[in-house]
Structures are given as structure tokens and as C-alpha cells.
Amino acid sequence: MTDGIRRTGPPLALQKLRENFYLVQLQLAETPSADWKRLFYDTQQSPPPEFPPRAVEISGHLLRFRSDASTVEQKVAWIDRWIERANQKEAAMGGRLDEERRRRREELSREQAELADLNTRWAKL
């Protein structure tokens, strides 16, 4: 059994959108399932009105949000709580999601091996 989705590093400023307002990115240890994303967005208790979960875009294993520099730390703390809550809800749903995650990891591993083989074959082209 896994510990669920985890953030793997600090926030990174990707782009300055306007004065003191940035596109910020967080990296996750793995790509969340559609069920986990639904739990992240929909099962939060009392999110702040100025920063609802839907303000966070999940794309692959990356989370992105917009923020002024002074509130990034606070928003990351909210996101960490939302990640933990989604993990708790997912764990409560039982082994079906764990099995789905295991299959996704195996598929990803096979895809990465296939890409590595192609890149090795093409390295001398």
C-alpha cells in the first residue's frame, strides 16, 4: 500500500504574470488518478473563498496556481492539506484505487522502457 500522492519539492515560480503576481508550480511524486483529482477538488472542508481548490490546475504530475509572492507559502499549506485529505478519502475507498495505481505504474514503466529502447536505437541516426 502506498502513502498516496505526495509533493516532491518546493514551489517554483514559472512565469511573472504581472507585478508581484506569478504562475507557481508544484511537482508531485506521481500522476494522480481521475478519482484522486475529483477527491482533491470536491471533498475539501471550508476552503478559503479567495483560493478554492479549483484554482489549482492539475496536469500530469504537476500542480499549478497563480499567486502573489506574499501568499505562496499560505497557498502551498492549503494545497498540502488538500493533498492529504484527498489521500485519506482515497484510502477510505479501499483497495480498488490501489490496484488501479499499481496498474498505472506498471504501464508507465513499460512505456518508459519502450521509449528508452527507441532512443537507444535512434541515438546514432
Per-residue pLDDT tens listing for the chain (125 residues)? 457 899 999 999 999 999 999 999 999 999 998 889 999 999 888 889 999 999 999 999 999 999 999 999 999 999 999 999 999 988 888 756 667 777 878 888 898 999 999 999 999 88
Alpha-carbon distance of 118 to 38, in angstroms, equals 35
* Domain 12-94 sits in CATH 3.30.1490: no
pLDDT for 1:
41
For the chain, domain boundaries: 12-94
Amino acid at 3: D
Amino acid at 77: A
pLDDT for 95:
59
Amino acid at 80: D
pLDDT for 43:
81
- Between the alpha carbon of residue 28 and those of residues 36, 40, 51, 53, the distances in Å are 13, 13, 20, 16
- Between the alpha carbon of residue 40 and those of residues 2, 59, 71, 76, 78, the distances in Å are 17, 13, 20, 14, 11
